Structure 1
Amino acid sequence: MSNIHTGVLGVVAHAKGDLRVEVIGEPRPEADEAVVEVAFGGICGSDLHYWLDGAAGESILREPLLLGHEIVGTVVTSAADGSGPVAGTRVAVHPLTPGPGDGSRYPIERPNLAPGGTYLGSAARFPHRSGAFARRVALPSRMLRKLPKGLSLRDAALVEPAAVAWHAVGRAGEVRGRRALVVGCGPIGSLVIAVLRHHGAAEIIAVDTVEPPLSRARLLGATQTLLATDADAIARVDADIVIESSGNYRGLESAVRGATRGGRIVMVGLLPSGEQPALISLAIVRELELVGSFRFNDEIDEVVAALADGSLDVGGIVTQVFPVGEAAAAFEIARDPAASGKVLLSFEERD
């Protein structure tokens, strides 16, 4: 975000365990930036990690960070250079800025893998890339995606995480008519189930450690649900494709055990940094394919279209909406998968 002066409320992580709602500056946009009035922001797992752990994977918090990258809102001032949507346009946001970094090679058609890429609300680089959990923010016009009529801002708040899920399912290859296993039914896992259903999976088996996420999974299209403690049942699933979205090594263990011989496992859940135990021998003798899934590229445009025409059903994934002033309570409930699915912050001003 550009340099800022006085004053709107923002949600800032200062250090591990130190989350504050405080006044930050009004945005001062560069020529290619629009000012967006934020309506809703979804609390992501990375936001929770910055608060709880002071880090998200390899990204270590080294200075106060304005959180948030799952946002929607309305352009109030268009970019001075004439690029992007005009004032009054409702928009979703693609939070990625690709960058060459140290020059390491990457597939040019996959900018999500650019070594110097930055993401809104990320501590991957220093100085950190400020996020967008504030009433008004300045954002590059290239990040903005116009929302179709009929798609509410509240529903559109799921565009960014749904694009993560869409990308993960894409990494699985052809899913139509196949048996899929989804390990971990938090917000991303729930969205993966919705995308699998949209893409025509014949069976969708969902696994989680507690019952409430499994109830939501059934509403979204899961044909069978299993508790993670039922190891024997998971081993009998024999899934063609597995999406591991728990971000836990035990979830990865379930994914390997539940995959059919020659199957593919997509790892979208971000495990903690460092070495992790894994059933590598079993993966070898079954000739399993283990592939990573990181963020997304242009899938966001397909997600916007699918939400707008109703073919992607995400009903029930949002479980709570808190005003920004109650962000501390929102983060507390978002950390509890038994109590919440996707939790939104509302930035709409109130009397």
Structure 2
Amino acid sequence: MRAVVIHAPKDLRIDSFPDAVPGPGEVRVRIANGGICGSDLHYYHHGGFGTVRIQQPMALGHEIAGVVAAVGTGVTGFAEGTRVAVNPSLPCGHCAYCREGLRNQCLDMRFMGSAMRNPHVQGGFREFVTVDASQVFPIAPTLSLAEAAMAEPLSVCLHAAHQAGPLLGKRVLVTGCGPIGALSVLVARYGGAAEIVATDIADAPLAVAKSLGATHALNVARDQAALEPWRAGKGTFDVLFEASGNQAALRGALEVMRPGGVIVQLGLGGEMTLPLNTLVTKELQLRGTFRFDREFELAVRLMGEGLIDVKPLISASLPFESAVEAFELASDRSRAMKVQLTF
């Protein structure tokens, strides 16, 4: 079979790839759609991020969906032709964190398309993947495979919302309107937020955020005082979803957070310098969020029941043979939100 494989920065190839027959407890999936994630772009442009670097060729991709092609012995509930979303996470199930229910913090996690381990865990931008049956979730007849491939990033935002706590009636600020920020707008709207303000430095992603239900979409590069109306009375926002990974975005948001507000940091942008006095005196709660766990099944269900509509985020779908073109398009925020490969 063929796969989209990164060899070095800007060296993305369509390679022949070994094809695994499903063993006991495994399912083989013919991939139909795969979304290009920010981490895929980091591998493409820079060969990795932080200390995580490509050491050998690696198939990219972890936002995938397809059709069951074969099942191994002992697998029930799936038949050839079942349409499924594939969870890229495979926790060990027996380390200390798995036993505590913190499976996203697994000490021996195998996450598809990740160079954190060596040898790397190969990704899902392949014509076929063989995975543990626990990673495969049937999708509703009304859900397209393109939408199903959005289950992974939606899961990230659902986990972030879990970290934030109840959103019903809250004022929510979302900084950074890439795919994760845009999905955070959708999740906040689903959670019953009374007001959702989205900020970015580009108009195109802000227009998407507005279409998804943001009550205000503000370009803070063009108007640095755009958030000033929410600064009154020590600040207005109850919850911040910081999805840019940018220090300026987080620091600026602190001024408009109300005392006791919750900050959930989704974006990864390296080290930041923060005004601790503001965090202390306003009693702000800064919370991390990392990947997801049971939220994947929830994401599939919410999309399948029509409760969250991710279709407006899918900007373009290109054949995987045009992967370089697709990655370049996904890198251009003025033209694309979420770009998918089709197989």
Deviations 1:51-82 (A, max 9, x none): 11111344222111111110000001012233
Pair 1:299 & 2:292 matched: no
Q: Contact 1:264–1:291 at 8 Å: present in 2 too?
A: yes
Deviations 1:136-185 (A, max 9, x none): 11111110011122111122121111111111111111101110000011
Distance in 1 separating the partners of 2:189 and 2:137: 25
Q: Which amino acid aligns with 1:160?
A: E
Distance in 1 separating the partners of 2:131 and 2:33: 15
Partner of 1:276: 272
Distance in 2 separating the partners of 1:84 and 1:128: 30
Deviations 1:295-334 (A, max 9, x none): 1111122211211121112231000111001110110011
Partner of 1:53: 46
Q: Which amino acid aligns with 2:249?
A: G
Partner of 1:254: 252
Distance in 2 separating the partners of 1:107 and 1:177: 35
Q: Give the 4+ runs in structure 1 shifted more than 4 A.
A: 103-107
Partner of 2:212: 220
Within-5 A mapping of 1:129-208 = 129-208=121-200
Distance in 1 separating the partners of 2:153 and 2:97: 27
Q: Contact 2:63–2:152 at 8 Å: present in 1 too?
A: yes
Deviations 1:212-247 (A, max 9, x none): 001000100000011122333325432110000112
Q: Contact 1:84–1:144 at 8 Å: present in 2 too?
A: no
Deviation at 1:340, TM superposition (A): 0.5
Partner of 2:239: 241
Distance in 2 separating the partners of 1:224 and 1:182: 10
Q: Which amino acid aligns with 2:138?
A: K
Q: Which amino acid aligns with 1:14?
A: H
Q: Contact 2:4–2:125 at 8 Å: present in 1 too?
A: yes
Pair 1:93 & 2:96 matched: no
Identical-pair percentage = 38
Deviation at 1:92, TM superposition (A): 0.4
Q: SS of the residue aligned with 2:17?
A: strand
Unaligned 5+ segments in structure 2 are 231-235
Distance in 2 separating the partners of 1:15 and 1:108: 38
CA shift in 2, pair 1:222/1:56, >3 Å: same
Q: SS of the residue aligned with 1:26?
A: coil
- Once the two structures are overlaid, the 10-residue window that deviates more, 115-124 or 247-256, is 247-256
Distance in 2 separating the partners of 1:300 and 1:185: 21
Q: Which amino acid aligns with 1:162?
A: L
Within-5 A mapping of 1:121-132 = 121-132=113-124
Q: Which amino acid aligns with 2:78?
A: P
- Once the two structures are overlaid, the 10-residue window that deviates more, 305-314 or 183-192, is 305-314
CA shift in 2, pair 1:13/1:150, >3 Å: same
Q: SS of the residue aligned with 1:27?
A: coil
Aligned with residue 29 of structure 1, among 1, 10, 22: 22
Partner of 2:111: 119
Distance in 2 separating the partners of 1:208 and 1:266: 17
Q: Contact 2:97–2:103 at 8 Å: present in 1 too?
A: no
Q: Contact 1:100–1:117 at 8 Å: present in 2 too?
A: no
Partner of 1:82: 75
Q: Contact 1:84–1:141 at 8 Å: present in 2 too?
A: no
Deviation at 1:95, TM superposition (A): 1.1
Q: SS of the residue aligned with 2:255?
A: helix
Aligned with residue 202 of structure 2, among 210, 221, 241: 210
CA shift in 2, pair 1:226/1:60, >3 Å: same
TM-score (norm 2): 0.93
Q: Contact 1:38–1:72 at 8 Å: present in 2 too?
A: yes
Partner of 1:232: 225
Q: Contact 2:26–2:75 at 8 Å: present in 1 too?
A: no
Q: Contact 2:92–2:98 at 8 Å: present in 1 too?
A: no
Unaligned 5+ segments in structure 1 are 1-7
Deviation at 1:106, TM superposition (A): 7.2
CA shift in 2, pair 1:62/1:104, >3 Å: farther
Distance in 2 separating the partners of 1:70 and 1:37: 14
Deviation at 1:83, TM superposition (A): 4.5
Q: SS of the residue aligned with 1:215?
A: helix
Partner of 2:11: 18
Partner of 1:263: 261
Distance in 2 separating the partners of 1:100 and 1:175: 31
Distance in 1 separating the partners of 2:6 and 2:89: 20
Distance in 1 separating the partners of 2:249 and 2:99: 29
TM-score (norm 1): 0.91
Q: Contact 2:22–2:70 at 8 Å: present in 1 too?
A: no
CA shift in 2, pair 1:107/1:189, >3 Å: farther
Q: Contact 2:75–2:133 at 8 Å: present in 1 too?
A: no
